[in-house]
Amino acid sequence: MKPRIAGVTVPQDDVDAIVAFVARVEHSQRNALPDVFMSGFRQDAFWTTAHGKRLTGAEEIGAFTHRVLPATVDDPVTASYRVEHILFIRPDIAAVKIRQRPVTRDGEALDEVFRGHEDPSALVAERPEAAPGTPLYVLAKDDGEWRIAAAQNTKVIDPETLASLT
């Protein structure tokens, strides 16, 4: 599925580069590769984790990433990432909305448990590993490369959103 594109007009190469960038983020997360993950950040970036921890600058983001990401290599749950929407604010600045779905290592989507559930928000407490994410990356293109300038990674707990997963 192609992402929705809005904002200023940019070459298709930039859209493709952003989709490839997000695929690298997914690959680095799935394979617990902190250096690959960190290669996508500007030095002055800030990042807020899905649980609200604010990290400022590549040094702090890197220290956190090198501490927590390697420990996930054997986790049975990982995530898939799909670019849903790109807003090109300027030709070199883009806001990127991502659908992050928890999946097993063999690709089974865990967030399907919320579909049609009577009280999906109550199910989050029982199955927190199945809650999807909805990251927002603000990317800047510096020297021809897209990198994260700012990002917010948010877990979905809104009952209507969980119930409407497709």
Q: Is the per-residue pLDDT at 141 higher than 60?
A: yes
Q: Is the per-residue pLDDT at 30 higher than 70?
A: yes
Its pTM surpasses 0.85: yes
What are the φ and ψ backbone dihedral angles of 23, each rounded to 5 degrees? -65, -35
Residue-wise pLDDT tens digits, 49-98: 988 899 999 999 999 999 999 989 889 889 999 999 999 999 999 999 99
CB 148, CB 62: distance < 8 Å? no
Which long-range contacts does 17-24 make (Cβ < 8 Å, 24+ apart)? 17/146, 18/83, 18/86, 18/94, 18/96, 18/139, 18/146, 19/83, 21/139, 21/146, 22/81, 22/82, 22/83, 22/96, 22/98, 22/137, 23/81
Q: Domain 4-163: give its CATH architecture.
A: Roll (3.10)
